[in-house]
Amino acid sequence: MDLSTTIAGVRFPTCLMNASGALCVTKAELEALGQSRSGAIVTKSMTPAFRQGNPEPRYYSFPGGSINSMGLPNLGYPAYADIIPTLQTFGKPVIASIAGLSPPDFLEAARAITAVSPDLIEVNLSCPNIAGKPQIGYDVEASRALLLELKKIVTVPMGVKLPPYFDPVHYEITARMLLDVKVDFMTVINSVGNGLVVDPEEERVVIKPRYGFGGLGGAMIKPVALANVRAFWKLIGDSIPIIGTGGVVSGTDMFEHILCGAKAVQIGTALVDEGVGVFQRLEKELGELLQRKGYASLSDCRGRLQEL
């Protein structure tokens, strides 16, 4: 079964890849993604300087999903600029994720990383875990201003990583802004920000930073992720390709994202839980499911979710 896909003119050998943040901070982790069945190598969101991130414990996995407050730990863009040429020898696209604590941080990272020509750049508008720094993606005019500045700098396909939205009007104003700016792809969704997981035996929170509040991922967020993929696909269609992210732990979950309109799928929590072997498992599960249903390719079913 051919599971390859094309996003913004870039061919991906399979439609499944890591989500930014999951096992992609260090050179060793990025090279392991290169050697795995992941269809791309997505870096951790990078800032101008190295960041240690928030105090530990800062990631907690449980049967329904995960909660994290990593706090943007990363090597800093100079280190990723050094690593990217090596990553490009693995024969799959390299997606550089950029972030920042302020707009100038994003522009600085974008300038330096554009110079080493990753295949695509994903602009993270949705980190939920930095005290005092609201998610830019929830401010549509701030997002527009930042993306317009980035567009002047970035010469490779540039997309956005969005936070989840929960109201139709937010889908509409965000879709309009993304079409105006002409972003090349969108990754939907980042973690569901500022959840709280409680350990009832210990009677305390499970992660240390920020009073235990953090971004939720994994199985529990799939309906929110699917709603966001579907809502944007209905508004935007194929004008901006969608990478679906959120709650993917099986080939069936991938299929659901594709039915909603996703051209590719990313995995975070399942990758952290299982390691890079998860790509092979999910590829096999999706291939078998498509075959059982009689689909010859992803384009035969993509977006074809039926409504009642």
Q: HSE on the CB side for 125, CA within 13 Å? A: 28
Q: Is position 183 an interface residue for ligand RRO (rule: CB under 6 A)?
A: no
In this chain, which stretch among 64-72, 76-84, 112-120, 138-146 interacts with ligand RRO, using CB under 6 A?
Answer: 64-72
Say if CB 171 and CB 198 are below 8 A apart.
Answer: no
What is the smallest separation between the CB atom of 253 and ligand RRO, expressed in angstroms? Answer: 18
Instruction: Say how many residues touch ligand RRO, by CB under 6 A.
Output: 16
* Binding characters for ligand RRO, 272-291, by CB under 6 A (x = yes): --------------------
DSSP H helices in the chain: 27-35, 77-87, 103-114, 140-153, 168-181, 222-236, 251-260, 269-274, 278-293
Positions in 72-101 near ligand RRO (CB under 6 A): 72, 99
Q: Pick from 93, 212, 215, 247: which binds ligand RRO (CB under 6 A)?
A: 215
How far apart CA 114 and CA 132 sit, in angstroms, is 28
In the complex, the smallest distance separating the C-beta of residue 138 from ligand RRO, rounded to whole angstroms, is 13
Identity of the residue, 69 or 266, whose beta carbon is nearer to ligand RRO in the bound complex: 69
Q: Does 191 bind ligand RRO (CB under 6 A)?
A: yes
The answer to whether the beta carbons of residues 205 and 211 sit under 8 Å apart is yes
Q: 83 preceded by cis ω (within 30°)?
A: no
Under a CB-based contact definition with an 8 Å cutoff, are residues 193 and 157 in contact?
no
- In the bound state with ligand RRO, the residue whose beta carbon lies nearer, of 36 and 191, is 191
- The answer to whether 129 contacts ligand RRO (rule: CB under 6 A) is yes
Does residue 70 belong to the site contacting ligand RRO (CB under 6 A)? Answer: yes
- Residue 115's CB is within 10 A of a number of other CB atoms, namely 11
Residues 198, 95: Cα–Cα separation, whole Å:
35
Which residues are registered as beta bridge partners of 11? 6
Contact between 68 and ligand RRO per CB under 6 A: yes
Query: Which of 179, 243, 183, 180 shows the shortest CA–CA distance to 7?
Result: 243
What is the spatial distance between Cα 155 and Cα 117, in angstroms, rounded to a whole number? 8
- Comparing CB distances to ligand RRO, the nearer of 80 and 255 is 80
Which residue in 15, 24, 127, 260 is the catalytic one? 127
Residues 99-128 touching ligand RRO, rule: CB under 6 A, are 99, 124, 126-128
21 binds ligand RRO (CB under 6 A): yes
For the chain, give percent helix, strand, coil, nearest 5.
40, 20, 40
- Fill in the amino acid letter for 255: F
C-alpha 178/C-alpha 171 separation (Å) is 10
Beta carbons of 187 and 241 less than 8 angstroms apart: no
- 45: contact with ligand RRO by CB under 6 A: yes
Regarding 192 and contact with ligand RRO (CB under 6 A), the answer is no
Known active-site residue 127:
yes
Using rule CB under 6 A, residue 209 touches ligand RRO = no
Q: How far is the CB of 83 from ligand RRO (least distance, A)?
A: 18
Catalytic center residues: 127
Binding site for ligand RRO (CB under 6 A): 21, 45, 68-72, 99, 124, 126-129, 190-191, 215
